[in-house]
Amino acid sequence: MNQDFLHFSIRFSVLDSCLLNKINIGFGPEEDDALTTGAGVPVGDKLNVMTVGPRGPLLVQDVVFTDEMAHFDRERIPERVVHAKGAGAFGYFEVTHDITRYCKAKVFEHIGKRTPIAIRFSTVAGESGSADTVRDPRGFAMKFYTEDGNWDLVGNNTPIFFIRDAMLFPSFIHSQKRNPQTHLKDADMVWDFWSLRPESLHQVSFLFSDRGIPDGHRHMNGYGSHTFKLVNADGKSVYCKFHAKTDQGIKNLTVEEAGRLASEDPDYALRDLYNAIANANYPSWSFYIQVMTFEQAEKYPFNPFDVTKIWSHKDYPLIPVGKLVLNRNPVNYFAEVEQIAFAPSNMPPGIEPSPDKMLQGRLFSYADTHRHRLGPNFLQIPVNCPYRARIANYQRDGFMCISDNQGGAPNYYPNSFTGPEDQPNLKESRVLLSGDVQRFNSANEDNVSQVRDFYTKVLSEEERERLCENIAGHLKDAQLFIQKKAVKNFTDVHPDYGARIQAHLDRYNAKGGNKDCIRTYTQASHVAAKERSNL
């Protein structure tokens, strides 16, 4: 691993590239073990408050106490609105195959090149204290510290997603979180949204399959999910998808195992990852791309930028690129994992976004939420600092600016004096676009064909049965009219799919259903009558 990065991470001795080289945060001489306040003032007694007499009141002048309590009162920062529970580690990416014919990014410059990386794994809907073994997609976010700035590939353990239009993202997440009145997870909310948006069928089917509960973070794949664009040194572009295949092998937990671990060891996945690295059993993933030319994209039978669908591996086979290896645990969880911030908008020259609507929405949203959660200068936090690149721009000031603020250099551009210049040779590739400006409805862009293939061709008979049982076991807690809408969608995929789920639901409902469930939402009578006629 890059020793500069290791020193940087462990000591928080920030590098010149971050313009923080004059600051050594939180550390005095290593041989000095004297306890101090946050201001560095030595503390004579850390065990007893200052009072008037042994039983008297506290004194305002007890700055040791007020310093300690004031900091304690402000320890917590807002948790991530999604992906709050997570684990992270550090390592390197090594190029094993040449793809420079597709991409000029320095991270892929030559075979054997190593780039420092950070990866954060997470669940999606749960809070920071939730169990690692719930049925939920897993975040698989990768940060590559390249010489041309940080590249963040912010993916999941699934190659697809629930929705294809970014406008729906806040509502989708709200439906997966807690009911605003009861503050309980609510099957009505979850399945009502999914049943009204049938483009979710592919991801829902993956989620309730055996892969919906990975056996820790080491035994799952990672995917960039979106379609990206690669640009080579000659300015020629192709579309691509990124894949990270676990070298430890796919392993999943049964529903029973996951339930037991949720109560006995809710931090199971975090513990498994940390212990493996601590014992020098370094996890790794083989890194691949799929490539599609612009001409192929024009002729493809569906929208190649639709994140609810995959690209056929038969038509677009995996091309090996390199290896991701994690070989260092965080020295401090808060500093290096809680504060790490990934943004899909961080793309060095050679990697660009595609017209994928979900990706386009994320380009804004992720950096924006980091500014809310961590502050406008979150990129000055050591773990987020693009320390292998030189930061030179005209951005200044802001809350918690801890650099030298680029000194007295001009803070406007253009100017007649000095400062960084833009690099015309590094402009984004040219794109020819045309079309009407409108809000286009993409709800019914073939939501079933690939799900049908997944159900009939990918899953075995035993896996199909477990899938249907898992879906029914969750869907049974939703109201009957929502169950009917969901079953209709599954039936549209394949009659057997819907019939099996309905059979399981019939058994649950014959027993009286979930009588303990309090409903906070009821359907208007005219809406209910209309939906009954449709069903």
Q: Annotated catalytic sites, by residue?
A: 83, 156
Contact (Cβ atoms closer than 8 angstroms) between residue 409 and residue 395: no
3-state DSSP helix/strand/coil % of the chain, to nearest 5: 35, 15, 50
Strand partners, 243: 223, 288
Give the whole-angstrom CA distance, residue 533 versus residue 198: 19
For residue 327, count CB atoms less than 10 angstroms from its CB and return exposed for 0-12, middle for 13-18, buried for 19 or more: middle
Q: What are phi and psi of 323, to 5 degrees?
A: -135, 135
Which has the closest alpha carbon to 145: 115, 123, 174? Answer: 115
For residue 508, count CB atoms less than 10 angstroms from its CB and return exposed for 0-12, middle for 13-18, buried for 19 or more: middle
Strand partners, 122: 86, 139
Q: What stretch of H or E contains 64?
A: helix 63-72
Is 366 assigned to a binding site? yes
Q: Residue 424, preceding bond cis, omega within 30 degrees?
A: no
Per-residue DSSP letter, 164: S
Contact (Cβ atoms closer than 8 angstroms) between residue 497 and residue 490: yes
Contact (Cβ atoms closer than 8 angstroms) between residue 159 and residue 134: no
Contact (Cβ atoms closer than 8 angstroms) between residue 118 and residue 89: yes
Write the Ramachandran bin of 138: left for phi over 0, alpha for psi from -120 to 50, otherwise beta: beta
Give the whole-angstrom CA distance, residue 472 versus residue 482: 12
User: What residues contact 116, with CB distance under 8 A and at least 6 apart?
Assistant: 1, 2, 5, 90, 91, 92, 144, 145, 388
Which has the closest alpha carbon to 207: 240, 247, 167, 161? Answer: 161
Contact (Cβ atoms closer than 8 angstroms) between residue 372 and residue 78: yes
Give the whole-angstrom CA distance, residue 301 versus residue 304: 8
Give the whole-angstrom CA distance, residue 170 versus residue 173: 5
Give the whole-angstrom CA distance, residue 129 versus residue 80: 12
Largest alpha-carbon pair distance within the chain?
85
Give the whole-angstrom CA distance, residue 101 versus residue 296: 18
| Binding-site residues for heme | 366
